[in-house]
Amino acid sequence: MTGLIRQSIRFGAVGLVNTAIGLVAIYSLMFFWGIGPGIANVIGYAIGLAVSFALNRVWTFSSNRPVAHVLPKYLLTAAISYLLNLGAVLSAVSLYSSNPYLAQLFGIGIYTVCMFFGCRWFVFAPTPFERTLPG
């Protein structure tokens, strides 16, 4: 299996895990602690993003670079991916009168693809030195 395929499968699996954990956090915060949906959503997404970062760093992209080096790039990539997602959703709905539920699915696809390639080519891309190492 090629590196791209293996990484994309792992990235998808990590996405399912962080989505499940984030959703459990959101629901738990609302149900058990009475936290409002907006604050619960922010906290749940932050937890999901942290899980995603940790799993993608170690498992998907096998990076051993210091967290301080890659975390800012990861957060920037997530922010850009989210803005592209939001722009796609809002454009689909307002400019093309798309069904908003389908537009959300389209936006998720945009986010996922941008985040994957952003991680592969920017956040966790091998340094020139690492590319010259054998194996």
Tell whether the model's pLDDT for residue 27 goes beyond 60: yes
Q: What is the pTM of this model?
A: 0.87
Q: Name the residue range of residue 27's domain.
A: 1-62
Q: Are residues 72 and 133 in the same domain?
A: yes
pLDDT the model gives residue 126:
83
Tell whether the model's pLDDT for residue 129 goes beyond 80: no
d(CA 87, CA 61): 28
pLDDT tens digit sequence for 84-111: 999 999 999 999 999 998 998 899 999 9
Q: Which of 9, 44, 62 is the last residue of a domain?
A: 62
d(CA 97, CA 103): 10
Q: Are residues 45 and 98 in the same domain?
A: no
Q: Are residues 49 and 85 in the same domain?
A: no
Q: Which of 13, 39, 62 is the last residue of a domain?
A: 62
- Domain count for the chain: 2
The DSSP H or E segment spanning 119 is none
